[in-house]
Structure 1
């Protein structure tokens, strides 16, 4: 294993541990994946099925190719997770990391007809940068991959209707921060709806939301600064993710 793969494994394992800390886990389900560099045909790291997020370590991540064959690791993967993650890795060269969650707020917004609303500057970051994919049942059908790819397009996130959230990034840091704030935007919408009702919510105008989204693009590099802060926090709490 070269140093680049070792670092990628540690970063992905860290993302799992942080997600557990933030309450994003859904027992054994949902997955984070990272594409291995220089692998030609997509090969990616993903969690072995059967482990909770706080049990994932750098060494127990498995490697799977686009055909579903396990390249390394002595555990199986979740077929539905493979369908979704392989679809993105196959279609997007820049999507080195893919994060998929089933959080309460994310699933609530995924069930809303209008999807994510521009309710806050956090929400506005995602204006015209989120795709939507209609629910087709549990993602066991590999034919759905082409439709997932079309729904995601060039966006940095995807709302899987009646299902959950998905984020992509060139690094684990990017995908994790996108998911953190996408989920936060959903939490804001859930709270606002409970307080005012969706019909009485004040929405940021589209033109202003577009401006705010552009402002966030200019500071996207700060995701890596925040990621280092997350890693320091995790190091203080439990550094065993690196094992």
Structure 2
């Protein structure tokens, strides 16, 4: 049913003229906008990588149609699949999905009901850190903000459903940030805004580490690592800020950029 009068509690300027409920349309718009944000930041990779969101009250998740650039994604082009990977709603294209999106993201959505959104990218510095034996080092405030990091060993391109249980085990029951060794990074959140905020801090931490290691010639003994109690204090403080808004202010500040540039993601 087309709904023209849509009052959005998130103070976004939206008119729902789609077949979707207001609640699903809002999730679709937020996710499509975040695809545009990632493209604007230069963290996309042709037609690859995935950002997903669960449709509240269902066992369906949304992800990008396989063939669209991130800057082309719209609310109605997103594909809805169930937790077995079956397409429930193909969206406005006939492109289907990339199976790796289901293998990685479907595993997490099925096992962690606390997670509404997952975001996986291959940004260059984050891949470099994923290839670094010591992983992400606790050297920047950004690395403290995101807290504990989980690691998953590389098993090749993720197309085998058997890997899902190992991905779930690697992430663990509470962590929301995962380094996929030799591959990339993944961040999660109890909403799209939190997942984006975690991903942003994750990438920044990786960028800082790559620059810092280049400055010291790879000699980690030259790095200034704050005491653990200071790092833990920063993590707890950042978590208290996130608990108040789940990254919503940060997400909205970037939403205003992509909306001003091109608001076609709402369609």
Give the TM bin, normalised by the shorter chain: over 0.9
Matches of 1:189 and 1:197, distance apart in 2: 12
Which residue of structure 1 aligns with residue 161 of structure 2? 142
Matches of 1:20 and 1:6, distance apart in 2: 21
Q: CA deviation at 1:86?
A: 0.3
Residues 198-238 of structure 1, C-alpha deviation per residue, up to 9 Å, x if partnerless? 32222222222111101101100341112121111111111
Structure with more contact order per residue of length (Cα contacts < 8 Å, sep ≥ 6): 1
Which residue of structure 1 aligns with residue 16 of structure 2? none
1:236 aligns with 2:260: yes
Give ranges in structure 1 of 5+ residues lacking alignment: none
Give ranges in structure 2 of 5+ residues lacking alignment: 1-19
Equivalence map 1:147-226=2 (5 Å): 147-153=166-172, 154-199=174-219, 200-220=222-242, 221-222=244-245, 223-226=247-250
| Match of residue 110, structure 2, among 90, 101, 104 | 90
Tell me the secondary structure at the aligned position of residue 16 of structure 1.
helix
Residues 146 and 201, structure 2, Cα contact 8 Å, conserved in 1: no
| Match of residue 70, structure 1, among 87, 96, 99 | 87
Q: CA deviation at 1:126?
A: 2.8
Deviates more, 1:45-54 or 1:220-229: 220-229
Which residue of structure 2 aligns with residue 25 of structure 1? 44
Matches of 1:192 and 1:152, distance apart in 2: 27
TM-score, normalised with respect to structure 2 = 0.88
| Match of residue 57, structure 1, among 74, 84, 107 | 74
Matches of 2:35 and 2:226, distance apart in 1: 33
Residues 102-143 of structure 1, C-alpha deviation per residue, up to 9 Å, x if partnerless? 00011000011111111111111233x211000000001101
Tell me the secondary structure at the aligned position of residue 156 of structure 2.
coil
Tell me the secondary structure at the aligned position of residue 219 of structure 1.
helix
State the number of aligned residues. 240
Which residue of structure 1 aligns with residue 29 of structure 2? 10
Matches of 1:234 and 1:82, distance apart in 2: 27
Residues 125-168 of structure 1, C-alpha deviation per residue, up to 9 Å, x if partnerless? 233x2110000000011010001001111101101111100000
**Structure index of larger Rg:** 2
| Structure 1 stretches of at least 4 aligned residues deviating more than 3 Å after TM superposition | none
Tell me the secondary structure at the aligned position of residue 188 of structure 2.
strand
